[in-house]
Amino acid sequence: MVSKILIRFGDVEMNRLKNQVAIITGGSRGIGMAIAKKFANEGADILIADIMKEEAEAAARELSSMGSNAGSYQLDVRDVGEIYKMVAYCEKEFGKVDILVNNAGVQKPCPSMKLSEEDFDRIMDINIKGAFFCAQAAGRSMRKNGGGKIVNMSSGNSRMVNVGRAPYCISKTGINSMTAVLGAEWAMYNIRVNAIAPGWIQTEMTKRGIALKALDEKQVFAVSPVERWGTVEEIANLACYLASDESTYIVGQVIFCDGGWNTGMMPGALDYIRENDKPE
């Protein structure tokens, strides 16, 4: 355990998550790691729970070097017994669980006609079943402790479908439903459950899609009114808001953080505005 120091951002004390303990699944890299850094900057203690042992340890070391109290736990979210052990470990090492970010997720582009049962099950087991039981295990701990916050990671694909990603889209739509159900069911325990639906963020997940030619940057820009990728920090800022006491009246919601993709704008439609909306 490394002693905590007060992190400052300019002249402003960043303490929105002071005395909070957060578990972040899939927190070794990408969106999860950005959330871990943001939460650490806001004063939270962090447990990174990830299937990749060494990467999780490295992420925890990086957080510790920032002055955060951080640790790691190797977890495959498909193993419900291990999920419960991870939550027990968090209680033992950090004293409690205040926040769960249900971020671990996988995608594997494949035409639906060719999809195997094995791949279907793997994506569902990680993205949906794993997220549900992480919520259940952390939720039981939070209830004991008087409450908490759960932030699920959905996707823009829960509303805007993407061909060649059937189980991913189905699983993320399921996350939206799960968020509404648990949000309603657990508000009485002072556990707030919400979700973020990110748009197109440059991480290993999207880099892999590009490498497999299942995704193209031009497509991303054409459907995004902001005409760019989103950043992991933009997702982390929203996660922090949902995990903090600034969002106490938001329950069971899915917030789309996607540069306007889910407005459903036709690809390339902005060309008309560019041509016809010259400043007077």
Ligand X SMILES: NC(=O)c1ccc[n+]([C@@H]2O[C@H](COP(=O)([O-])OP(=O)(O)OC[C@H]3O[C@@H](n4cnc5c(N)ncnc54)[C@H](O)[C@@H]3O)[C@@H](O)[C@H]2O)c1
User: Catalytic residues, which ones?
Assistant: 168
Which two three-digit tokens encode residue 264? 């459903």
129 binds ligand X (CB under 6 A): no
31 binds ligand X (CB under 6 A): yes
**HEC letters along 72-99:** EEECCCCCHHHHHHHHHHHHHHHCCCCE
Residue type, 213: K
Could you tell me the sign of the dihedral formed by the alpha carbons of 91, 97, 101, 107, in that order? positive
94 contacts 109 by C-beta, under 8 angstroms: no
What are phi and psi for residue 163, nearest 5 degrees? -65, 150
Which CA distances in Å does 261 have to 54, 103, 148, 177, 220?
35, 21, 31, 20, 9
Residue type, 266: M
- CB closer to ligand X out of 29 and 38: 29
- CB closer to ligand X out of 69 and 206: 206
- CB closer to ligand X out of 177 and 248: 177
Of residues 203 through 242, those in contact with ligand X by CB under 6 A are 203-206
Helix (H, G, I), strand (E, B) or coil at 231: coil
25 binds ligand X (CB under 6 A): yes
The binding track of 179-198 with respect to ligand X, each residue x by CB under 6 A or -, is: -------------------x
275 binds ligand X (CB under 6 A): no
- CB closer to ligand X out of 126 and 178: 126
CB of 166 to ligand X, least distance (A): 14
Piece in contact with ligand X (CB under 6 A), picked from 10-18, 108-116, 152-160, 270-278: 152-160
50 binds ligand X (CB under 6 A): yes
Query: Total residues at the site for ligand X (CB under 6 A)?
Result: 29
174 binds ligand X (CB under 6 A): no
The string of DSSP letters for 16-82 reads TTTT-EEEEETTTSHHHHHHHHHHHHTT-EEEEEES-HHHHHHHHHHHHHTT--EEEEE--TT-HHH
Piece in contact with ligand X (CB under 6 A), picked from 8-16, 27-35, 88-96, 141-149: 27-35
72 binds ligand X (CB under 6 A): no
- CB closer to ligand X out of 43 and 130: 130
